[in-house]
Each structure stands twice: as structure tokens, then as C-alpha cells.
Amino acid sequence: MLSNLGNILLFSKVLLSLTIIYFSYQCIKSSREIIFKKIYQISLLQSTLVLGCFFTLIAAYVVSDFSLINVYQNSHTAKPLFYKISGTWGNHEGSLLLWIIILTLFSFLFLIYNNNHPKNYRLYTLIIQNILILGFLFFILFNSNPFLSLSPIPKEGLGLNPILQDPALAIHPPLLYLGFVGSSIYFSAAIASLITNYSEKSFAFSIKNWVLISWGFQTLGILVGSIWAYYELGWGGFWFWDPVENASLLPWFAMTALLHSLLVLEKRNLLYFWVIVLCLITFTLSVTGTFLVRSGILNSVHTFASDPSRGIYILSFLSVMIFGSLFLLLNKYRKENKLIYSNSKETFVLINNWFMMFYLLTVLVGTLYPIFTDVLTNNKISVGPPFYNTVILPVVVIFLFFMAIGPKAKWVKNRFDNLGYFALLLFLALVVNFSIIYFFKSSTILSNLVIISSLFLILSSFFDLVNSILKSRFDLARTISHISFGFLVLFIGLNHNFSIEKDFNMKVGEVKSFDNYEIQLQNLELKTYNNYKAIIGNLKIKNILLKEERTLNPEIRIYDNPETLTYEAAIKTNLIKDYYLTMSNIDRSEFYNIKFQKKPLMIWIWISVAMLVFGGFLRIFKNAKIN
């Protein structure tokens, strides 16, 4: 029954998308300056039905309807209700249905909230968006249908991968999809802008909040995924340059460059084609990430599927998107005649864009290079942190200085009459950096430069905030975002410099000593829970220098549905540092491998990203107030 209902709703959505495209085109040809009422009505019905389709799949998971292949493969009766619901989008087919929901809702919301913009521009945006919706609908219906039935009906399901049964991972995909699927609406708007010649400031006003919304949710999604990987996968850090992590980061670089380009388009009516290109690149990279995750060409704990036919469809769809938008762009491109002075705020925004493009290309090459190497030479290689640290970190130092100086520059032409001010900031940053070295320990020249440049940005943004408050005109959103980014880089640098990692084998009762620490494996305990058994270690960590003791309890979990072994990290967190322990058995012997890490300031890395997002959302509210 639920299978039939879900398929009927999916096919109904196809018909509704075609109807919207038809009536939108008829409305464009009409001489009336208003959009047909029936287009609003059909768009509302379309959004309602796609939500109904999604709730149908949720209902199938809640009641454990194993007549659906999707439910059978990703759930079982003993799974907690929360994870039954989150399992709806924790798989390939369900996640694509979530894609359709976001595509549809953004289409409808753009239609009703952008009513002060020209009719044809809005209608072409609606048409392009519904073409995208149809592309993914056909993918779902013919290749990845979550409502395929199974006969005979099994009594029990296979269950969801235990590492996916986690609160953070339950909210990670929806947040991330609101980010990179939400970028579809300004992809569609960019193409509509080229078709209708609707450009300049008005176009920037029409998409700026949509860019901020998608950027904010994308950043939140990356943050939650990073936190999940930290405590669930046993890696012990905030980022590992995993290929699928990189796939989520690529659109973020383009979004960030787009946000800054929109400022110039608003203020100076410049960089229109930068804005268009970045709109197109952002969603193209989102679909590229989808191709990488679902084609089976990447090895990662994050990958959804390994069906080559799915990859071929997405690759074909992606190719049509790229070549179609490129053809239109090249036909419409015209050189901007306005002069941009090298000593202006516009130039600093352009510099920011080129930095973002450099980061984007570096991560893209690092992600795709192993794939091409595997195809051409049949040698599997991996590109890890050493590559990214070597290439990106020196550039980050320069970028942070430009990021601090740029907001002080004036539009059109700047006189650079504040060099003394910047020299003072640099002196203060040097003093703080050398204080850190003196009181703690020395580090590499590059890490010192990273800390100095991040302090320079923090101090510059802080004094800018104080000065602006005194003058009763300040950009709180921008200042919070810039300070937060400076603190993010600072805490990452300090975390890297002062981390401790030790790996050793020990048995119950044994004590290991290193630096100023002692670790003892006191005992092991076996516990049985609803859907797994756990071997719990009891380890005492003593900091001899600080006369501090902590007890941590890492676990080895054995799941039945499906049969899986996982290693749960034990973490003690405070405002200064994290103690991080993982435990695994060695060949069923009496010895256990213990990995100990001390991670300074980890919580402040998360807080910095959260504040960065807060600054972005603050900008949305400011824009809403102005408009």
C-alpha cells in the first residue's frame, strides 16, 4: 500500500513539474505583468505532495514495512524510533528524495518571496528549477526508487550501519543538503538572469539571502559532520581530507567567494559575471560531489552507493548542466567597462575570490588525482593532510592579512593612510605569538606565521568593531564572521602545535608512562544493551605535572543487526583540552591497542565555526530589515 502511494505521489510530481513549466512559458508569452494565479497554486500543490511522499517513506520506516526494499535494507524492528526516522534519509534512495524536497521548497519559496522582481526573471527561474527537479525525479523513478516493493515480505530487516545511528549524523545530511541543494535556486536564477538580461544591483538583491541561507546551512552541516567524525570514527581530529569531506567543502569555497562578489555587485554594479559564474559553479560542484559519493569511485566511510549505473546518470546530467550553462554564458558574456582601481575594496574582493578559487582547485585536484591515477596506472594512492598542509597553509597566511586589510579599504579608490595602524596590529600579533612560544614551546616557522596572521585578523576585526560602535555605524555580521574565522585558524594552529598522540599495546593492570602522563588499563567490563554488546575499558589517565586524574571508558561494540564491530572513543572535554582514547583488541589476545590523544582547544574550534554561521545568519536578518 505504502509502495503504491509513494509511487503515485512521485509520478504526480513529474506531471506537476511539467505543468508548471508549461504554464510558466505561457505566462512569459502573455502581455500581463503578473504571474498566473494557477502557477502559485500548482507550485503549492507540488510542495505539499513531495512532503507527503517523504512522510510516506518515514511512515514505512516507523512501522517497519519490509515490503519496501529500501526499508528492508536499512532498518529492523529493534532499531530505536529516532534512528528509524533518520534512517529515511540515511541511505542513497531516501537522501535523493530529500534532495527533491529541498529543490521543490526552494523553488516555491523563491516564487513567493521574490515578488518585487520582474515576472519573466522569476518564471525562467521557476522553469530551470523544475527542469532540475525533473532530472532528479527521473533518476529516482528509474534508478533509485525508495518505493520498490519486495516479495515475499521478510520478517526482519538488515538494519542500518551502526556508525550511522547517531544523533549528529541524523541531522548532518538535512543541514548539508539545505546548503548545497539550496544552491540550485541561484543556479536557476543565474541562468534566468542571462536569458532575461536582468542584472546589476537588482539581481544581487534577488539572490543574496538565498546565498546566505545555503552558505549558513552548508557550514552548519560541515560542522556537525566534523563533530560526528571526531567522536564516532576514532580519528581524533576535526578534519582528515577524506574525499567525501572534500566534496562538501568544494561548494563552500564557491559560496564564500559568491557572497563577497555580491557585495561589489550591490555597491558598485561590478563583477556581474563573477557572480554568474560562481552561481553556476556552486551547484555544479554540489552535483559533482553527489556523483563522487554515489558512483562508487571513491572509498570512504561516507559513501552512499557503489552502483556504476547511478554514476553514469549523474555524470550525464552533470555534463548537460555544465555544457548548457557554459554555452549560454559564453553567448551572453560582455566585458565590463567600469574601471577597478588596484587600491580599492573591489580589488580586495577580487583577491579574496582568487584565494577561494585556489583553495577550491587544490582540494579538487587532491580529491580527483587518486581517481585518475587508479584509472590510468591501476595504482591506488591517497592524497592526505601532508599535501594539503604543504600547499594551502602558506597561502592561508597571506590570505588572512588581506582579509584583515580589505574591510578597511574604501570603495572606488583607497589612499592607504592607515599603514601605521596595521603596523601596530602586526606588532601586537608578534608579541602574543612570541609569548605563546616562550611560555609553552617552540614550533615551526610556518605555524608561527599562521598564528601571527590569524591574530592580526582578530585584532584588526576587534578594533574595527570598537571603532564602529563608537561611531554608531557598524557591520556586526561581517565583524563576527571575520573574528570567528580568525579564531578558527588560531585554534587550529594551536591545536596542531600542542597536540600529543601516543599509540601502544597493553593488557589489564599494565601501566604506560610518557611525557608527564601515566595510563593504566584497570579492568574490562562486558555489558548487554538492546541492539549491541559492549566491552568497556576502564582506563585511568594521570597528569603527573598538574596532579590531575581522569577516568575514560572507551568501548568495543558488537552489533547483531547488521553484524558489525565498532570502536567508540572515550572523550573528556573541557575549555582547555580534550583527552581522547580509543581501544581495540589485538587478534583476540589479552592485549589491547590503546590510542591516546590530548587535543588542546578542540571545543573552541567548534565554537568558532558556530559563531561564523551566526554572523552569516545575522546578515540575513539585517538584509530582511533593510528590504
What pLDDT does residue 586 have? 86
The residue out of 463, 498, 533 marking a domain boundary is 498
> Do residue 255 and residue 350 come from a single domain?
yes
Ranges of the chain with pLDDT below 50: none
Distance in angstroms (rounded) separating the CA atoms of residues 77 and 84 = 9
> Do residue 339 and residue 267 come from a single domain?
yes
Residue 399 lies in a domain: yes
> Do residue 60 and residue 137 come from a single domain?
yes
Measured CA distances, 496 to 137, 521, 580 (Å)? 45, 27, 15
> Do residue 161 and residue 190 come from a single domain?
no
Residue 75 lies in a domain: yes
Q: What is the phi/psi pair of residue 97, to 5°?
A: -65, -35
DSSP 76-141: -TTS-HHHHHHTTSSSHHHHHHHHHHHHHHHHHHHHHH-TTS-HHHHHHHHHHHHHHHHHHHHHHH
What pLDDT does residue 307 have? 63
Residue 119 lies in a domain: yes
> Do residue 476 and residue 565 come from a single domain?
no
Q: Where are the alpha helices (DSSP H) in 233-242?
A: none
> Do residue 7 and residue 144 come from a single domain?
yes
Distance in angstroms (rounded) separating the CA atoms of residues 491 and 608 = 9
DSSP state of 152: S
Distance in angstroms (rounded) separating the CA atoms of residues 21 and 39 = 9
How many CB atoms are located within 10 Å of the residue 327 CB?
10
Collapsing DSSP to helix, strand or coil, 584 comes out as strand
Residue 561 lies in a domain: yes
Residue 627 lies in a domain: no
Q: Which residues, in sequence order, are bridge partners of residue 556?
A: 535, 567
> Do residue 31 and residue 139 come from a single domain?
yes
> Do residue 493 and residue 547 come from a single domain?
no
Whether the ω angle into residue 386 lies within 30 degrees of 0, i.e. cis, is no
Residue 613 lies in a domain: no
> Do residue 307 and residue 355 come from a single domain?
yes
The residue out of 165, 196, 220 marking a domain boundary is 165
Residue 517 lies in a domain: yes
> Do residue 258 and residue 323 come from a single domain?
yes
> Do residue 99 and residue 35 come from a single domain?
yes
> Going by C-beta distance under 8 Å and a sequence separation of 6 or more, which residues neighbour residue 84?
61, 62, 64, 75
What's the domain range around 593?
502-603
Whether the ω angle into residue 174 lies within 30 degrees of 0, i.e. cis, is no
Look at the chain and report how many structural domains it folds into. Answer: 4
Q: In which residue are the cell numbers 591497542 written?
A: 593
C-alpha cell at 507: 593488557
> Do residue 19 and residue 136 come from a single domain?
yes
**The dihedral sign for the CA sequence 405, 410, 411, 414:** negative
C-alpha cell at 310: 547511478
The residue out of 165, 194, 221 marking a domain boundary is 165
Residue 367 lies in a domain: no
Measured CA distances, 334 to 187, 266, 304, 471, 574 (Å)? 19, 19, 42, 41, 55
